[in-house]
Amino acid sequence: MNLVEILRSRVADLSHGDYVVGLKAVLQHIEVAESHLERGKATSEETAFTDAIYRTNQAFEGSLKEAYRVLTGKNPAKETTNKIEQYLQEQNVLRHRVLAQLTNYRREWRNPSTHDYG
């Protein structure tokens, strides 16, 4: 299963809306992350893996913003990722399993000093 191909297909099939531009940017981050990952595997260049994680973080945060846009009808541009995560948790709009993955991602992959603030 090629997840990037599935995402490309899903983004291509989206109906028009403000969220489409943001989701295309998310897809681009994922595509670039994949290329960094493949470069790292091929060359053992450790910075490639760091670059892949950075791009994955960008994709994750962009996804959160577009979810917020769709769920609230509000422009997420001035909202922090932390506030969006709080909204998603407090409003019970996500399944428990998805919330658990959100928490896991925040704890295991993101730098708390730059992301976990009010």
Amino acid letter for position 44: S
Contact 30, 59 (CB under 8 A): yes
Work out whether the CA dihedral 58, 64, 67, 72 comes out positive or negative: negative
Interatomic CA distance for residues 112 and 109, integer angstroms: 9
pLDDT per residue as tens, the chain (118 positions): 688 888 889 888 888 888 888 899 999 999 999 999 999 999 989 999 999 989 998 999 999 999 899 888 999 999 998 888 888 888 888 888 988 888 788 777 665 544 444 4
